């Protein structure tokens, strides 16, 4: 299953929108020129210190961020987002918005002696994602491929997929099995919640973050 959000037009991936109010203006004094050089220097330092790809400066979100900062009406009250804002508060809001607006796509792949090929993708965003919907989609794909050509179906082991798989097995000679990768992912998720493992992962993240933020220790 693949979830993705299609919110942009084809050309939006290659060009950022132009705000006429944000068109660059030539500095009218040496003081402004020096201030602009300092700003560019601080932005560059941020990229260098945190090992951020220069291609990020071409992104639409980077352009919008800069425009929003410059157009803020009261610079004296401007406060950049803190670590906690970025990692918790704003992240939760973005995640919630993503979940509310994302499409619910199901991809179907067929495995045969010649390899695995993509068959089709079905958008189920407008439907309740219950076992009946999964069952109907599986039946349609089985009929399309030909029931005599289908030996086994493999899905993740969410409850709606499990029930749909059992219905398929009850009415045919086709076997259903859960995805091994999904099972392992769930097991590792449970293991990561163990106190010892959780603390170890946190320590490893701190070490990794320190190294990336202090590149000179690698030389």
Residue 15's pLDDT is what?
44
Q: Distance of alpha carbon 111 from its chain centroid, rounded?
A: 27
Helices vs strands, H then E, count in the chain: 8, 4
Question: Is there a single domain that holds both residue 19 and residue 46?
Answer: yes
pLDDT of residue 18: 47
Q: Looking at the 3D structure of the chain, how many domains does it have?
A: 3
At 172 the pLDDT is: 92
Give the Cα separation of 34 and 47 in Å (integer). 20
* Domain assignment of residue 3, yes or no: no
Q: Could you list the residue range(s) of the whole structural domain that residue 59 is in?
A: 10-101
Residues 132 and 204 in one domain: no
The pTM of the whole model exceeds 0.85: no
Query: Cα–Cα distance between 76 and 78 in angstroms, integer?
Result: 6
pLDDT score for 1: 39
Residues 132 and 64 in one domain: no
Q: What is the pLDDT of residue 151?
A: 93
92 and 120 together in one domain = no
φ, ψ for residue 66 (rounded to 5)?
Answer: -65, -40
Tell me if 1 is assigned to some domain. Answer: no
Same domain flag for 30 and 84: yes
* pLDDT tens per residue across all 219 residues of the chain: 333 333 444 445 444 454 545 445 554 567 778 888 888 888 888 888 888 888 888 888 888 898 888 888 777 777 777 878 778 888 888 887 776 655 677 889 999 888 898 988 887 776 777 889 899 999 999 999 899 999 999 998 888 899 999 999 999 999 999 999 888 998 998 998 999 999 998 899 888 888 877 766 666
121, 148: one domain: yes
Among 101, 124, 151, the domain boundary falls at 101
Domain boundary among 73, 101, 129: 101
């Amino acid at each position: 299953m693949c979830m993705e959000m299609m919110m942009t037009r084809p050309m939006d991936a290659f060009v950022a929108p132009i705000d006429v109010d944000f068109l660059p203006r030539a500095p009218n004094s040496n003081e402004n020129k020096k201030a602009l050089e300092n700003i560019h220097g601080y932005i560059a330092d941020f990229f260098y210190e945190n090992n951020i790809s220069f291609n990020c400066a071409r992104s639409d979100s980077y352009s919008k961020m800069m425009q929003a900062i410059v157009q803020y009406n009261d610079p004296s009250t401007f406060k950049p987002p803190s670590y906690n804002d970025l990692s918790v508060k704003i992240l939760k809001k973005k995640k919630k918005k993503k979940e509310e607006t994302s499409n619910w796509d199901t991809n179907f792949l067929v495995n045969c002696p010649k390899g695995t090929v993509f068959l089709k993708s079905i958008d189920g965003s407008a439907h309740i994602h219950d076992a009946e919907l999964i069952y109907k989609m599986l039946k349609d794909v089985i009929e399309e491929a030909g029931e005599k050509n289908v030996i086994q179906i493999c899905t993740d082991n969410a409850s709606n997929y499990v029930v749909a798989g059992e219905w398929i097995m009850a009415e045919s000679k086709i076997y259903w099995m859960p995805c091994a990768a999904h099972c392992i992912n769930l097991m590792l998720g449970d293991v990561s919640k163990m106190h010892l493992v959780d603390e170890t992962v946190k320590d490893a993240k701190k070490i990794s973050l320190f190294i990336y933020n202090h590149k000179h220790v690698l030389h």
